[in-house]
Amino acid sequence: MNKRHLLIDCDTGTDDAIALIATLGNQGEMLEVVGVSSVNGNVEEQYTSENNLRLLSYLGYSVPVSRGAKEPIFKRGNYYSDVHGSHGLFGINLPTCTESTFSKLNAPEFILAMAKKYEDFEILAIGPLTNIAITLSLYPSIKERIKHLWIMGGAIEGGNVSDDAEFNIWVDPYAADKVIHSGIPMHIVGLDVTERACITKKDAVEIKQVGSPASELVAEILEKMFQRHEEGGEDAFMHDALAASAIFCPECLTFREASLEIDVSDSFRSGKTIYSFSEKSSAPRVQVATDLDLPKFKEWLKSSVEGCGNQERNYKRNGSV
């Protein structure tokens, strides 16, 4: 089996950071994270980029980081909230980078360069799909180089910014529509499944007991998420980490093939992901998550956090698969 090469496109806030840590913890002989591209979303691009650079530096990874879109393709009004704090990590201060710097390539250029450089190139997209859509628009032939897309976004039913729309798709529905129609094979993990991937305080204690920089940071982020929930906000849902688990832990999720359309109308339904399980639909076909094995996911997450920063362990684990 050829080695897989993964780029992570993200708007790093709290659960994005945990997803990054979990994904890095699964690197080994069979998969390498070759780059991270930042996008506007949970907070402004300036902060998502800084969060990515500082996080990777803190964990000891020399993965290149590229700065991406500062706003959606068609700009909305102000949609930033305090869900992740003003800078995305609830005020958790990671050390300032002294050696790492951003790539000189912007996100579309960077994604193109990575796709040309590596065979078996895949993308984990856990923020708005703006960077991916712009890349496809500027370099249409790149779709032949992207083997697979793994996406956190949308929902079969419901939403979290409206009754019909999930945040990542709602921020930039035009980008989502472009990506969905690209013809690239994709698995999508949506809100109605990720909101069942909830971490408890007991889970957080077990993660912290690993005793590594990665586990201590995850535990600190989770504590901030628990405080948010106690104050009436969202619980400790692992939206993005669950999407990442689809790459490494197939038994964590159940998928079904479906047709997908994105509502791009200028209405309250904008950003709605419209799924059909009928074979008669002519809309693009995707694999969408319909269920999860929560104990299996928690086991995977804890193991992945333990693996972050432990390259020798990862190579032994992945090499034995």
Using a CB cutoff of 8 Å and minimum separation of 24, what contacts does 311-319 make? 311/27, 314/25, 314/26, 314/27, 314/28, 315/28, 315/29, 317/28, 318/26, 318/27, 318/28, 318/29, 318/30, 318/31, 319/28, 319/29, 319/30
List beta partners, residue 165: 272
Q: Are 238 and 204 in contact (CB under 8 A)?
A: no
CB 160 within 8 A of CB 170: no
Active site residue 84: no
Q: Nearest Cα to 303, choosing from 235, 249, 255?
A: 249
Closest alpha carbon to 167 in 240, 231, 232:
240
Per annotation, catalytic residue among 84, 87, 187, 239: 239
Angle at 145 between CA 143 and CA 146, to 5 degrees: 70
* 87 neighbors 45 (Cβ within 8 angstroms): no
Torsion of CA 22, 126, 297, 114, to 10 degrees: -50
Identity of residue 38: S
DSSP string, 104-136: SS-HHHHHHHHHHH-SSEEEEE-S-SHHHHHHH
**Measured between alpha carbons, how far is 75 from 70 in angstroms, rounded to an integer?**
10
DSSP three-state, residue 181? coil
Please report, to the nearest 10 degrees, the dihedral formed by the alpha carbons of residues 15, 20, 25, 30 taken in order. Answer: 130
Residue 4: C-alpha distances to residues 11, 27, 42 (Å): 23, 10, 28
d(CA 28, CA 172): 34
Which residues have a catalytic role annotated? Answer: 239
